[in-house]
Amino acid sequence: MKEVFERLFGKRETRLFFAPGRINLIGEHTDYNGGHVFPATITYGTYALAAKREDRQVNLYSMNFEEKGVISFSLDELEFDQAHDWANYPKGMIRYLQSDDRKMDTGFDVVYYGNIPNGAGLSSSASIEIVTGVMLESLFGWELDRIEMVKIGQKVENEFMGVNSGIMDQFAIGMGKKGAGILLDCNTLEFDYAQLELEEEQVIIMNTNKRRELSESKYNERRESCDHAVEQLQKELSIQTLGELTEEEFEAYKHLIECDTVRKRAKHAVYENRRTLQALEALKEGYLEQFGELMNASHVSLREDYEVTGKELDTLVEAAWQQEGVIGARMTGAGFGGCAIAIVKADYVDDFLQQVGELYEEKIGYEATFYVADIGDGARELQKDEVIV
């Protein structure tokens, strides 16, 4: 990265920042429904090598999108620009982070590099947002509450990029901790760290290699269905989100939801939220097999009720379920392509990778990609010679 920076912007004193990607172990499409999620940050992520300038120009370059070249704009021109493509994510952070107490006196040059598979659903966009936030905080000497930064990242996604997503991705990336998952109440932002005691198992990320473009997907349509379900349930229930309901309450009042499809969407949100709480308890008690069963049930619900899996994800997960040594497997992320995860006993990982890979290629016609994930720390400035992956 240093060589690329110097070629583009000249020799200067630079600083290096990192924000991870994330996996969600369980609790999918619950974040915007006021429920719980259980994400963890991984050691794949986004790097940003930066230095301040003396004028008000901002120059952004991504080693992942070399064909786009250097994207430049002034600190006085922070509107969304379709032509700026990926750079709209950091541009939105620059715009929304500034306030009466936080001003940028100069622009800056930055080279980004990410090793999160692009479009895989491991939250590369939130990783770019939060690494930009951490970078700006350090470069300009701000004291910024990390949860405030997380909320600004979500605002960029929602208002600047037009994707109606929840807060889980930015929260996990901003607040992640090595060797731990985060149980997050998306309604209150209360959270707990939970140790992931995977001493004889490994987390495998399985990338379908089917690209998904979130803003062009049916993500917003699913969210609207859930909002509609809440409106109909409010005829007799004093609730603001589906995450407030138990399974029993949902079953007692689901007749208020007139449309069968909307009722299925709401059922997933309610039952998935309860599964997430049960999963945390299973981990606390050391019942990893039970945790795996809840992961499996999560995927079935996402396939049957929320209908966000698709042929590629189902093929990967169903192939994983057939393998010896598998504790559990499910899609992770928004769906419509992207990735699935599996918890696999370490002794069986090699056989798992070979057999699931063969089954997938035979049915889909192209290869899946597999990553063995470690659970790492959240976004931060890196010290010299610190290696993440």
By annotation, the residues acting in catalysis are 169
d(CA 345, CA 5): 42
d(CA 171, CA 167): 6
d(CA 125, CA 50): 18
d(CA 344, CA 165): 30
Q: Cα angle at 240 between 239 and 245, to 5 degrees?
A: 50
d(CA 141, CA 8): 25
Contact between residue 273 and residue 301 where contact means Cβ atoms under 8 Å apart: no
100-106: list long-range contacts, CB under 8 Å, 24+ apart.
Answer: 101/142, 102/140, 102/142, 102/144, 103/140, 104/75, 104/136, 104/140, 105/140, 106/52, 106/53, 106/54, 106/55, 106/56
Calculate the dihedral angle through the C-alpha atoms of 152, 159, 378, 141, rounding to the nearest 10 degrees: -40
Tell me how far the alpha carbon of residue 237 is from its chain's centroid.
32
Q: CA torsion sign, 163 to 131 to 188 to 299?
A: positive
Going along 149-242, which residue ranges are E strands?
Answer: 180-185, 191-195, 201-207
Query: What DSSP character marks residue 179?
Result: T
What 3-state DSSP class applies to 355?
helix
Name residue 260's amino acid.
Answer: D
Query: What DSSP character marks residue 293?
Result: H
Q: What are the structure tokens assigned to 344, written together?
A: 């696999």
Q: What are the structure tokens assigned to 321, written together?
A: 């379920």
Residue 181: closest CA among 73, 276, 247: 276
Residue 341: closest CA among 76, 10, 44: 44
